[in-house]
Structure 1
Amino acid sequence: MQTPTSAPESSPRPKRRKAKWLIVPTAVVLTCLACSGKGILDEGIQEKTTACPKAMSTIGWKLPEGASDQHCEKLDTLVGSTVSGTFRIPRAHARLWLAALPGERNRPVEGAGADGVVERREGLSLTILKPPKGPADAVRITALWEGNDTAVVTFQTFDY
């Protein structure tokens, strides 16, 4: 005796097709979002060469007389901006210039004079905790000796 066969169950295929139709648009949307997000991040960080007197003026300082081989940059990000640069000055003027820079000095550290300038065999360094102008929280300056007559000065602002 034959048993009646039950009606075939509905095929799960249409459900799979629906799932495929949901996956493809979702993947396209996510890809577009990832690409546009990358563009936003790329545009959010902009490094620009700037004149050193202008870079120094943003923190309330003046470029020392006799500065040569100047190269300064401004970096704008989504959270703020920093300036940095290098230039050469006569070695004989380096300590006087560093000591005269306005701003709140770091607490005395080993090797620092009363003016906050640290003197080492290779050159000088100074950290200013708060420059007189601008949004920077600190500035680090070094003057490395380059021969007997020249110092290479490097400075960089920091936002904490």
Structure 2
Amino acid sequence: MAGVRGGTAGARAGRGRTRWGVFAVVMALPTLLVAGVAAVAIWFMTSDYPLGGEPEDVPCAEALDFGGAKLPKGAYDGQCTVQTWLDTDYHAAFRMPRADVRKWLADTYPEAPEPGTDLCDTDADLCLNLNTQYATPPDGAGADAVTVNVTYEDAGTAVVFFSAFTV
């Protein structure tokens, strides 16, 4: 009888014990979940490009080629980037002789409307937008749309902001 009683007493003690390891894991899960969500939220709020697609420097010839253009003669101080994620977006900024801007645009985009001042960036003196069914980038260009904004820096210099992108 002593063996039976000892076995029963041991079984009762095991059944009533708290399993602290399982309890600790169950209690820690909500805390870990909240901490994980908070970490992701902080990352999204502090990153300029949380989903990727940070701009990368590229040769200006590549940026302009994507929009069906060539870098004009006399261009200098070029800074060009590409940003890709869902779409591809090339940007180029360069200086060129002011007197050559209209000819360069006409030679580059002969089918485009005359450059003007409608729908230009705020500081632009002249612009060209190839982003409608009536005015599109040339065949062979990788871009669906091209915008060119020109600011006259002084009597002899123009700063060109070129953007070619997919939509």
The 3-state SS of whatever aligns with 2:55 is: strand
TM-score norm. by structure 1 comes to 0.67
Quote the sequence identity (%).
28
1:96 pairs with 103, 111, 127, which one? 103
RMSD, aligned α-carbons: 3.7
Q: Note the C-alpha offset of 1:47.
A: 1.0
Residue of 40, 45, 50 corresponding to 1:42: 50
Which ranges of structure 1 fall in alignment gaps of 5 or more residues? 1-13, 106-114
Name the structure 1 match of 2:130: 128
Matched, 1:73 2:75: no
Pairing partner for 2:162 from 151, 155, 160: 155
Residue of structure 2 equivalent to 1:24: 28
Measured against aligned partners, the alpha-carbon deviations of 1:32-79 in whole angstroms (never above 9, x if no partner) come to: 47757959x6362221111111211122211101101111111122x1
The structure with the largest strand share of the pair is 1
* Partner in structure 2 of residue 116 of structure 1: 114
Match of 1:64 in 2: 72
Unaligned runs of 5+ in 2: 1-17, 119-123
Taking the aligned partners of 2:137 and 2:27, their CA distance within structure 1 comes to 54
Q: Which structure has the bigger radius of gyration?
A: 2
After superposition, the C-alpha distances for 1:72-122 in whole angstroms (9 at most, x for unaligned) are: 111122x122001110111110001112223864xxxxxxxxx331059x6
Task: Report if aligned partners of 2:137, 2:143 keep a CA contact under 8 Å in 1.
Answer: yes
Matched, 1:139 2:146: yes
Deviations 1:108-146 (A, max 9, x none): xxxxxxx331059x6321001232345432111011111
Mapped to 1, the partners of 2:142 and 2:29 lie a distance apart of 45
SS at match of 2:62: helix
